[in-house]
Amino acid sequence: MLAHLPTPLEPADRLGRAIGLAPGRLWVKRDDLTGLATGGNKARKLELLVADALARGSRVLVTAGGPQSNHARMTAAAAARAGLGCVLAFNADPPPAAEGNQLLDRLLGAVLRFVGPVPMEALNDIVARIGAELDAAGRPAYVVPVGGSSPLGASAYVTAADEIVADLGHDDVLVVTATGSGGTQAGLAARLGHRRVLGVDVGALADPAPVVRGLAADVAALVGLAAPAGEPRLLRDQVGDGYGAPTEGTRRAVRLAARTEGLILDPVYSGKALAGLMSLDPSVLDARAVVFLSTGGVPALFTSRYAGWLAADEDDPTGPPPF
Q: Which residues form the catalytic set? A: 69
Cβ contact 131:143 at 8 Å = yes
Residue 189 phi, psi dihedral angles, 5° rounding: -70, -30
- Find the Cα–Cα–Cα–Cα dihedral 306, 198, 166, 52, rounded to 10°: -70
Tell me the C-alpha distance between 98 and 96, whole Å.
7
Cβ contact 265:254 at 8 Å = yes
Strand order from edge to edge, sheet including 233-235: 9-11, 26-30, 289-294, 173-179, 197-201, 233-235
Angle, helix 270-278 to helix 248-261, in steps of 10 degrees = 90
112-61-114 Cα angle (round to 5): 20
Q: Compute how many other C-beta atoms are within 10 angstroms of the C-beta atom of residue 11.
A: 15
Tell me the C-alpha distance between 30 and 293, whole Å.
7
Q: Compute how many other C-beta atoms are within 10 angstroms of the C-beta atom of residue 224.
A: 7
Q: Compute how many other C-beta atoms are within 10 angstroms of the C-beta atom of residue 311.
A: 10
- The H or E element containing residue 140 is none
Pairing mode, if any, of strands 26-30 and 233-235?
unpaired
Cβ contact 106:113 at 8 Å = no
Q: Where are the alpha helices (DSSP H) in the chain?
A: 13-18, 42-55, 70-82, 101-107, 123-136, 151-154, 156-168, 183-192, 208-223, 248-261, 270-278, 304-311
